[in-house]
Structure 1
Amino acid sequence: FKTPCLLWLQGRISLSRRRKRYHSTRDDQHHLFLEFATRSGSWTIMAIDRHRPAPRLTGMDLADMSPDIQYFERHELHGDGPFIIKQAFHLIHAQSLGGVITDYDRFYTNAFRHLLPGEWLEVWENDLRFFTDNAQDEARLVALREWETLIHEAAAKVDKRINVAAKQKELMYSAGFVQVDE
Structure 2
Amino acid sequence: MVAPRASPTAENPAAEVQVSAGASLVSQPSAPDPLSEIEADSSGSNSDTESVRSIVDSAFSASGENSGDDTSSVKSHIFKYQYENGRRYHAYREGQYLQPNDEKEQERLDMVHHWYRLTLRGALFRAPILKYPQKVLDIGTGTGKLSSLLRLIDKPLLMVTGIWAIEFGDEFPSADVIGTDLSAIQPAWVPPNVQFIIDDAELEWTYAPNSFDFIHARTLGGSIKDFPKLLRQAYRTLKPGGWIEFDEFESWLKSDDGTLKDDSAISEWQTLMDQASTKFGRRLNIAETIEPMLKAAGFVDVVDDIYKNPMNPWPRDRRLKELGAWGNLAMVEGIEAISLALFTRVLEWDRAAVEVILARVRKELSNREIHSYAAT
Query: 1:150 aligned to 258, 261, 272, which one?
Result: 272
Q: For the Cα contact (< 8 Å) 1:130–1:141, is it kept in 2?
A: no
Distance 1:76 1:150, change over 3 A: farther
Once the two structures are TM-superposed, the CA of residue 48 in structure 1 deviates from its matched residue by 1.5
Within a 5 Å distance, the mapping from 1:27-176 to structure 2 comes to 27-41=130-144, 42=162, 43-53=164-174, 55-67=175-187, 68-69=189-190, 70-78=192-200, 80-81=202-203, 83-86=205-208, 88-135=211-258, 137-139=259-261, 142-176=264-298
Structure 1 CA distance for aligned equivalents of residues 256 and 25 of structure 2: 20
Structure 2 CA distance for aligned equivalents of residues 167 and 9 of structure 1: 14
Identity of aligned residues (%): 25
Q: How many residues end up aligned between the 2 structures?
A: 180
Q: Does 1:4 align with 2:125?
A: no
Q: For the Cα contact (< 8 Å) 1:10–1:125, is it kept in 2?
A: no
Write out per-residue CA displacement over residues 131-178 of structure 1, whole angstroms, 9 at most, x where no aligned residue. Answer: 23554x435971122221222222122211111111111111111111
Q: Does 1:16 align with 2:116?
A: yes
Structure 1 CA distance for aligned equivalents of residues 140 and 202 of structure 2: 14
Distance 1:77 1:162, change over 3 A: farther
Structure number with greater Rg is 2
With structure 1 as the length reference, what TM-score do the two structures score? 0.85
Q: CA RMSD in A?
A: 2.7
Query: 1:180 aligned to 302, 305, 309, which one?
Result: 302
Does the residue aligned with 1:7 lie in a helix, a strand or coil? coil
Distance 1:9 1:48, change over 3 A: closer
Write out per-residue CA displacement over residues 106-148 of structure 1, whole angstroms, 9 at most, x where no aligned residue. Answer: 111111001011111011011111223554x435971122221
Q: Which amino acid aligns with 1:170?
A: P
Structure 2 CA distance for aligned equivalents of residues 36 and 81 of structure 1: 12
Query: What residue ranges of structure 1 are gaps of 5+ in the alignment?
Result: none
